[in-house]
Amino acid sequence: MLLAIDVGNTHTVFGVWNGSAWSHTWRRTTSVETTEDELGAWLFAMFQLANLPFQIEGAISGSVVPGVNESLARLCERHLGTPLTFLRTGAEVGLPVTYDPPHAVGADRIANAVGALARFAPPIIVVDFGTATTFDTIDGTGTYVGGSILPGLQVSAQALFGRTAKLPMVEFRAPETAIGRNTVAALQSGIMLGYAGAVDRLAHEIQGELGGSATIVSTGGLGHIFVELCPLIRHHLPDLTLEGLRIAYGRLNA
């Protein structure tokens, strides 16, 4: 079994690949204060709940939070008996990158591109809904050329709620109508439909710069909502980043 660890600014996703599918995935809050032993106890419990033996054959991480990397590496070495491989650049896994500078592209974005290219012919736009919503752009030659970074939906909504005394927190779901007949419905209209409009506009502009056609896919925690709200998004792949990490592991250990 392979353990893939996708470390984001807000959440870390752990996925177990059993050789043919992602048999189990778990999400926990990213914290630089968590030790390898605390992670080990938590992960052991997750394996037990899933009726999995607490052993793996390899491990890979794509991390955008350097402060957690040492604890993750010690977790794998001390509790799982295997070294942790880190995905760091596109060059090491055969992905051409023309972003300036190339090493500034986050490991999660590299993994998204690798996973998407294994599934679709380029050009491709990957919209990853996380702490920030990122647009990863792969041109027709299969080169990672850049993209766009939009403040994430939760970050944007929390900024609004934190600065307004009377506006309540609302569930992130699509409203029935654009005209909200009460405060909750009005907030859901503005937040959800407004954000979907921003995503579609950026995707449209990027698609035009790629020549007018590209496969547009979503991933990330809230991606499943926006595949219904954004007409340009054709596919939602919740495990795309993990899939990219899995492919990267094979290339890094070939």
Task: Round to whole Å and give the CA distance between 39 and 54.
Answer: 13
Distances (CA, A) of 147 to 9, 233, 241: 19, 16, 16
Q: Of 127, 82, 137, 76, which Cα lies nearest the Cα of 105? A: 137
Instruction: Give the residue numbers annotated as catalytic, written as ranges.
Output: 108
> Looking at residue 168, what DSSP letter applies?
P
Please report, as a single letter, which amino acid is at residue 131: T
Task: Round to whole Å and give the CA distance between 48 and 43.
Answer: 9
> Looking at residue 144, what DSSP letter applies?
E
In the block, residue with structure tokens 């390899």: 58
